[in-house]
Amino acid sequence: MPVTVLAAYDGSETAGRLRWLERQRGLAAELGGRFAVAAPAGHLVMADVPESVARAVLDLSGTGHGATVADRP
């Protein structure tokens, strides 16, 4: 089953935020999936950047026509 871990990122460079991204990257690796960042986004990533969520879903289904989500902020 294809997996993408889509991590919300608000763009701040604080140690906590960067640690969050690394934990999400680790989760993606543990699941054997892809890691992507949706930015700028907070807790409600689907409301903040709905196009990033839609792109991530379409890429998994193979209908994204090559659209990509940023691999790193």
Q: What is the mean pLDDT of residues 28-50?
A: 96
pLDDT at 19: 96
42-60 pLDDT, tens per residue? 999 999 999 999 999 998 8
Nearest residue to 57 via CA among 3, 9, 7? 3
pLDDT at 30: 97
Nearest residue to 45 via CA among 60, 34, 56? 56
**Nearest-angstrom CA–CA distance, 54 and 57:** 5
pLDDT at 37: 96
CB 19: neighbour CB atoms within 10 A?
A: 10
pLDDT category at 73 given cuts 50, 70, 90 is: very low
CB 60: neighbour CB atoms within 10 A?
A: 15
